[in-house]
Amino acid sequence: MIELDQVTKRYDGIAAVDSVSLRVEPGELVVLLGGSGSGKTTTLKMTNRLIEPSSGRIRVEGEDVTTVPPHALRRRIGYVFQRLGLFPHLTVAENVGITPALLGWDARRIRGRVDTLLELVELDPAEVRDRRPDALSGGQAQRVAVARALAAEPGVLLLDEPFGALDPITRERLQRSFARVRRSLGFSAIFVTHDVVEALLLGDRVGVMRGGRLLQLAPGRELVRAPADDYVADLVRGPLEQARAVESLIAGAPARTIAGGDAP
């Protein structure tokens, strides 16, 4: 469980995150959706103290994060970056097992956990465990990053646009794979993205941010049917119009109709 209570972050007096409150229930995935500068990544990073809030309170699994040393807190919270953050000089197995090793797990337990997680993210341990990150495809490397975040059996996972740099086909496969892993393990998570479709498909609830403020937090269906304001309505309208355009294309509508309006 993750709780943010009136959390604010200011830089030179300007609020990058402004009085954000939300609660992620056990096993729930909340997606923070918004454009660049909306405050979504800053909110995520305050949760594990990569950034310290200016005011407000954050609790993870009932504990105020300011009472836990940052390094100890981060070992309890899985974190997946868009740019992976894999250590290039370590093998896949060493990357996945690094946090359990820091926590003092014995080698046999670490090896078993590494192999279990690689299989869970649909990688063959025998094939990849001894490779280094530069020998992996982008999709394989992102799967390793997810496995590493889960290695120490965290109850909480934070994901910062984890699939944003991947091609559409690989991205869709990893979205499906991640959804299956989440159902299997049942962790709570905050997932940051600027992709509206990704947010609607993956999130139990979606929080729309703009200018540091949380405009609406609701299930995807509610965002579509009852947007809180014009910004939220505009945000979800694009994917809906694209979906209708694709349906029209499949139905054989002329290209000029799909593009909007008749040709002269």
User: Could you tell me which residues are beta bridge partners of residue 2?
Assistant: 24, 60
CA distance 208 to 38: 9
8 Å CB contact between 58 and 65: yes
Mean pLDDT of the chain: 89
Is the pLDDT score of 109 beyond 90?
A: yes
Give percent of the chain above pLDDT 70.
95
pLDDT of 49 over the 50 cut: yes
Work out the pLDDT band at 262, boundaries 50, 70, 90: very low
Residues 188 and 237 in one domain: no
Query: 223 with 234, same domain?
Result: no
Are residues 240 and 118 both part of a single domain?
no
φ, ψ of residue 16 in degrees (nearest 5) = -80, -30
CB distance 32 to 191 below 8 Å: yes
Same domain, 110 and 125: yes
Decide if pLDDT at 207 tops 50.
Answer: yes
**CA 33/CA 11 separation, integer angstroms:** 22
Please state, in angstroms and rounded to a whole number, the distance separating the CA atoms of residues 217 and 228.
9
pLDDT tens, residue by residue, 94-104: 999 999 999 99
Q: What are φ and ψ of residue 55, in 5° steps? A: -160, 170
> Is the same domain home to 126 and 215?
yes
Examine the domain organization and report whether 42 and 162 are in the same domain.
yes
Same domain, 87 and 155: yes
Rounded distance, CA 59 to CA 57, Å?
A: 7
What is the mean pLDDT of the segment spanning 88-92? 94
Identify which of 4, 19, 121 has the alpha carbon closest to the alpha carbon of residue 60: 4
CA dist., res. 86 & res. 80, Å (int): 10
**Span 29-49, mean pLDDT?**
94
Backbone angles phi, psi at 218, to 5 degrees: -160, 160
125 and 70: one domain?
A: yes
Domain that holds residue 65: 2-227
**Number of domains composing the chain:** 2
Q: Tell me: pLDDT of 184 over 90.
A: no
79 and 45 belong to one structural domain: yes
Domain match, 214 and 240 both:
no
Question: What is the three-class DSSP state of 68?
Answer: coil
Q: Tokens representing 95?
A: 């990357």
User: Looking at the structure, do residues 45 and 29 belong to the same domain, yes or no?
Assistant: yes
Supply the DSSP symbol for 65: G
Position 120 pLDDT exceeds 50: yes
- Helix, strand, coil percentages, rounded to 5, for the chain: 45, 25, 30
Residues 243 and 263 occupy one common structural domain: yes
Q: State the chain's maximal CA–CA distance in angstroms.
A: 73
At residue 165's C-alpha, the angle toward residues 159 and 169, to 5°, is 105
pLDDT for 241 equals 76
CATH number at residue 65: 3.40.50.300
Beta-sheet strand order (sheet of 77-80)? 77-80, 156-160, 188-193, 29-33, 205-210, 213-218
For residues 182 and 262, what is the distance between their CA atoms, to the nearest angstrom?
46
User: Looking at the predicted structure, is the pLDDT value of residue 162 above 50?
Assistant: yes
